[in-house]
Amino acid sequence: MKNEYENLKEAIALLKKKKRIERNLLTEYIHDVQESLKPMNLIKGLFNQPHNSGSLVDALIGMGTGYLSKKVFVGGSHNIFKKGLGVLVQMGVEKFTAGNTDSIKEFGTKIFKTFFNKKPNEETEATPGLA
């Protein structure tokens, strides 16, 4: 009986030690997150890594496009299956967008230039008789 009691006592002591260690790790992690979310540190991160695929801007672009794609895919549906599938679509789009922001920006720039950088002569030629 005494042996079982001591084994239980040791197990409790080990669990308390594990709990204390995990609490310290969690507290340290929360502190690191709080530091990284301070406005000055966010701004420093933007300027220190402007073209890094892991930068905050790329992550925000990925999150935004993922959220929009989920909204388009799910809409106002209350179907649990469709919502779950929407979350998967959102995560996939986020990951793809955040990993390929440079090529997406380049593609968007080309499209923008194609539609909005017409030469003045092209506009007058497109509408003959109006001038």
Q: Tell me what pLDDT residue 46 has.
A: 57
56 and 119 housed in the same domain: yes
Residue-range definition of the domain harbouring residue 22: 1-37
pLDDT (tens digit, 0 to 9) for every residue of the chain, 131 residues total? 679 999 999 999 999 999 999 999 999 988 888 887 777 776 666 555 545 445 677 777 778 888 888 888 888 888 888 888 888 888 888 888 877 877 877 887 888 888 877 655 555 555 555 54
90 and 114 housed in the same domain: yes
Concatenating the DSSP letter of every residue in 72-111 gives: HHHTT---HHHHHHHHHHHHHHHHHHHHSHHHHHHHHHHH
Query: Domain for residue 17, yes or no?
Result: yes
| Total number of domains constituting the chain | 2
120 and 65 housed in the same domain: yes
| Cβ partners under 8 Å of residue 36, min gap 6 | 42, 45
- Separation between Cα atoms, residue 63 and residue 87, nearest integer Å: 12
55 and 118 housed in the same domain: yes
Query: Domain for residue 99, yes or no?
Result: yes
77 and 101 housed in the same domain: yes
17 and 74 housed in the same domain: no
Query: Domain for residue 131, yes or no?
Result: no
30-64 tens-digit pLDDT = 888 888 777 777 666 655 554 544 567 777 777 88
Q: Can you give the three-state secondary structure of 109-130, one letter per residue?
A: HHHHHHHHCCCHHHHHHHCCCC
57 and 120 housed in the same domain: yes
Contact at 8 Å (CB) between 97 and 104? yes
20 and 84 housed in the same domain: no
Concatenating the DSSP letter of every residue in 2-20 gives: HHHHHHHHHHHHHHHHHHH
